[in-house]
Amino acid sequence: MKKLALLNLILILILSGISGCSSVPITGRRQLNLVSDDEVLSLSLQEYNDYIKTAKKSTDKTATAMVTSVGRKIADAVETYYKYVGMESLLSGYSWEFNLIDDPQVNAFCMPGGKIVVYTGILPLTQNEAGLAVVLGHEVAHAVAKHANERMSQQMLAQYGAAGLDAVLSKSGSAAQTVGQTVYGLGAQYGVMLPFNRKQESEADHLGLIFMAIAGYSPEVAVPFWERMSQQGGSVPEFMSTHPSDNTRIADIQKELPEAMEYYNSIWGSNKNTTTPAKNTNTNNQWHF
């Protein structure tokens, strides 16, 4: 049934002349994308603003400044990458914001367009700037990989079914509004939005390593950070709830470290060298070293 639904969806997209797929930069993974960036940003920004008005911001000036500083470095690294590969238009409408919320939960989350929140409860596990870069690199990766667009598209397909999407796509704004109320509603699971799936979370781990490396943070600190996370007693922290098992996740990160370390040890480790290389001519949008 799932295969039939997917075939129907592909046929609908072809007949309607709508491109329903896009690719995630660096990983190249194809993703379903039925909702425009403008729709996603509009829906999520309202929910984010409503949330941040009532959230209790941390009064710890040092920790708050660290969250802002590390987040900004990683965002700058991402913008540098996108400009280098000629895809800066994909970040149109992004306005980066990093907030530290006084909450004991071991958690952090990302909203589309670069709105990222870190809870104070995760700071004892990050321990320092590099550990925090693991978390913020992961969340920035969710934003730039447009996992929220994909999440909404998947939700739309599940809600309306492939057979009804030809009509729904003709008025995608109203459909996105309906789905957005489920995905971004403050009453949704975890209070902000439904969690990403495991494939998206693993991809955010992968991209996060690269983004923190470009920002000048050694991605090698990711393994001990996730080991500390895995040792948390009691219920699974929300930040880890939709991930593969701890052992699988850490093993995957270890496999991805050599690639990330190439970025860190190259000219792109921005804390070590600020020279900009020549324009990338690789059609696969990969870095040259």
Q: How far apart are CA 34 and CA 16, in angstroms?
A: 12
The alpha-carbon radius of gyration of the chain (Å, integer) is 19
Tell me which residue has tokens 């789905």: 179
pLDDT the model gives residue 284: 38
Q: Give the rounded distance of the alpha carbon of 9 from its chain centre.
A: 26
What is the mean pLDDT for each group of 10 consecutive residues in the chain (289 residues)? 43 42 82 80 82 94 98 94 88 93 92 92 96 97 88 71 50 48 41 63 93 95 93 65 72 95 80 39 35
Residue 272 has a pLDDT of: 47
Q: Annotated catalytic residue: which of 39, 47, 139, 150?
A: 139
pLDDT tens, residue by residue, 137-148: 999 999 999 888
What per-residue confidence (pLDDT) applies to 207?
A: 96
227 in catalytic set: no
Cβ distance 70 to 204 under 8 Å? no
Please tell me the predicted confidence (pLDDT) of residue 237.
62
Of 145, 250, 252, which Cα lies nearest the Cα of 196?
145
- Identify the pLDDT of residue 46: 81
List, for residues 89-108, the tens digit of each pLDDT value.
989 889 999 999 999 989 89
pLDDT of amino acid 216: 94
Model pTM score: 0.77
Rounded Cα–Cα distance for residues 92 and 23 (Å): 17
End-to-end Cα distance, the chain: 46
**Pairwise CA distance, residues 30 & 76, whole Å:** 25
Record the tokens describing residue 33, joined without a space.
Answer: 């994308």
Tokens of 220: 């090698």
Res 62: pLDDT:
98
Q: Report helix, strand or coil for 96.
A: coil
Q: What is the pLDDT of residue 270?
A: 55
